[in-house]
Structure formats: structure tokens, C-alpha cells
């Protein structure tokens, strides 16, 4: 029994070591804990926003990094890392920088206090809009909309009724995701076609010509999410 305990501890030690080397979290709630998403760390975004704000104010006042270093009693190397978002400065450090720049501490955080949009739409209350496929009997119901951020996300509930027609002339920037809810369709993307039934999905580069080529079973509905850079 003792030998098993020792082996278990060795195994746990090896596992912890491997996790540390791989920079994976050992427990939920740890500083470097990540979700399953590959989205960037929000904390690092805050550091970059703080650094960019400090640099902008320093340049507005025509100060060099060395000038700010002397005024704030913070090394030039440390200031450079802060401006580049490479470290998380303490509150006292930020207060020293704010005092040297003669601005309130709250101003340094203003850049990170951007609006976090949220769009809520009740069932069957999405906005019906016209798009290229409208004339072919395709009904588009916009399910949400946000005005901020670097990318645009357009979620649609698309319905093709009994009188709908095939249309493969869609083409636009970005990526599109389709999740089939009801009905059946043969969907074209570029030179390829895909048979989509309830529960099937497809994700593609929407820069290629695409659209429903054969309406096998009508009426049909599917969720379409289009993502593209905001210009």
C-alpha cells in the first residue's frame, strides 16, 4: 500500500510538472485559468489599453520615456514594459505615473472602459430585413445587432417558404455558419455541394459564391451567422 502511495505522489508530481511546463491551469480559479475558448485573455487586453493610454498622454505632453521616468521615479525599462502592455503595473505605480503626467488616475483606465454591447431579441420578434435573396422568397429575420467591436456579427433566422426559389449568387466578405433547423436543401459553396438536413451545419468562407441550389424539402429554416471585419 505504501508503495502505491509513493507511486501516486510521483505520478502527481510528474503531472504537475508537465502542466507547469505546458502553462496549463492546475485548478479552477488560478491566475492563468483559461476557458475552452481560444479568445485572447481579457487581462492582457487591459494591460495593453493602459499602456497605450500612458504612451498617448506622454506624447501629448512631449515627454520622453526618460523624462517620465525621472518625474515618476520609475525606471525607463519598467515604463517601456508598461507602455507595451508586457506587465501588470501595481496601483501605486499607476498613481505615480498619473501624478507625473498631471492627470487623474481614472483617466488611465478610461480606454479600457469601452462599451460591452448586448442584444436581446424575444421569440419571433427579430427584424425582417431585405437582402439579395429576398426576391427569391428567402425571408431574413435579424436576431441581434451590436455597434461596437472590431468585427461585425450578423445572426439571421432564414426561412424558405413553399414559393421560394434556389439562389446561389450570394457572395460577401467574412465567414458564414449555417445550422439547419427544418427542411432539406442541397447547398452550394464554390465548386462543391452539401446536403443539409435538420441538425447539419456548415462553416465556410463567404467570399466564394454560395447559396441553396436545390430546395429538396420546403418549407425550411436555418440559422445563419455571418462574421466580417468592421470597416
CA distance 93 to 165: 64
Number of domains, the chain: 2
Is residue 167 within 8 A of residue 211, CB to CB? The reply is: yes
Task: Please report whether residue 36 resides in a domain.
Answer: no
167: nearest Cα among 227, 211, 107, 110: 211
Compute the half-sphere exposure of residue 12: CA atoms within 13 Å on the CB side of its CA.
Answer: 7
Q: How far is CA 180 from CA 133, 169, 175, 192, 193, in A?
A: 17, 19, 17, 18, 15
CATH of the domain at 63: 1.10.260.40
The answer, yes or no, to whether residue 26 has pLDDT greater than 70, is no
Task: Examine the pLDDT at 13 and tell me if it is beyond 50.
Answer: no
**Is 157 a member of any domain?**
yes
Shared domain check, 133 and 96: no
Range of the structural domain that residue 63 is part of:
42-112
- Asked whether residue 166 falls in the same domain as residue 214, the answer is yes
- Using the 3D structure, point to which of 58, 84, 112 is the last residue of a domain: 112
pLDDT digits (tens, 9 = 90+) for 33-59: 444 556 655 556 778 888 888 999 999
Residue 199: which region, alpha, beta or left (left: phi > 0; alpha: psi -120 to 50)?
left
Among 13-22, 127-136, 149-158, the minimum mean pLDDT is found in 13-22
Q: Looking at the structure, tell me whether residues 46 and 107 fall in a common domain.
A: yes
pLDDT at 14: 41
Least-confidence region, from 50-64, 66-80, 141-155, 211-225: 141-155
Does residue 14 belong to any structural domain of this protein? no
Residue 30 in any domain: the answer is no
CATH number of the domain at 144, please.
2.60.120.10
With respect to residue 11, please indicate whether it lies within any of the assigned structural domains: no
Asked if the structure places residue 26 within a domain, the reply is no
Same domain? For 219 and 170 the reply is yes
Residue 120 lies in a domain: no
Asked if 163 and 224 sit in the same domain, the reply is yes
How far apart are the C-alpha atoms of 172 and 231, rounded to whole Å? 14
Is residue 68 located within the same domain as residue 162?
A: no
Residue 97 belongs to some domain of the structure: yes
131 shares a domain with 220: yes
What is the model's pLDDT at position 9?
A: 40
Residues 136 and 219 in one domain: yes
Whether pLDDT at 1 is above 60: no
What does the pLDDT look like over 53-66, one tens digit per residue?
899 999 999 999 99
Pick the more confident residue, 165 or 38.
Answer: 165
Amino acid at each position: 500500500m505504501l508503495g502505491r502511495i509513493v507511486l501516486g505522489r510521483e505520478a502527481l508530481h510528474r503531472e504537475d510538472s508537465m502542466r507547469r511546463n505546458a502553462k496549463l491551469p492546475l485548478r479552477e480559479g488560478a491566475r492563468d485559468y483559461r476557458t475552452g475558448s481560444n479568445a485572447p485573455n481579457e487581462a492582457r487586453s487591459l494591460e495593453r489599453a493602459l499602456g497605450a493610454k500612458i504612451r498617448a498622454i506622454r506624447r501629448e505632453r512631449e515627454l520622453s520615456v526618460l523624462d517620465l521616468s525621472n518625474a515618476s521615479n520609475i525606471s525607463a525599462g519598467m515604463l517601456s514594459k508598461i507602455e507595451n502592455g508586457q506587465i501588470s503595473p501595481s496601483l501605486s505605480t499607476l498613481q505615480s505615473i498619473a501624478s507625473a503626467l498631471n492627470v487623474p488616475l481614472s483617466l488611465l483606465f478610461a480606454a479600457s472602459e469601452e462599451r460591452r454591447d448586448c442584444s436581446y431579441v424575444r421569440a419571433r420578434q427579430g427584424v425582417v430585413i431585405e437582402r439579395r435573396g429576398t426576391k427569391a422568397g428567402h425571408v431574413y429575420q435579424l436576431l441581434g445587432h451590436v455597434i461596437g467591436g472590431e468585427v461585425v456579427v450578423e445572426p439571421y433566422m432564414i426561412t424558405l417558404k413553399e414559393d421560394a426559389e434556389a439562389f446561389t449568387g450570394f457572395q460577401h466578405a467574412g465567414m458564414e455558419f449555417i445550422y439547419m433547423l427544418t427542411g432539406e436543401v442541397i447547398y452550394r459553396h464554390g465548386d462543391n455541394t452539401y446536403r443539409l438536413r435538420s441538425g447539419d451545419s456548415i462553416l465556410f468562407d463567404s467570399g466564394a459564391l454560395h447559396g441553396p441550389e436545390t430546395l429538396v424539402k420546403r418549407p425550411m429554416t436555418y440559422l445563419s451567422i455571418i462574421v466580417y471585419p468592421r470597416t
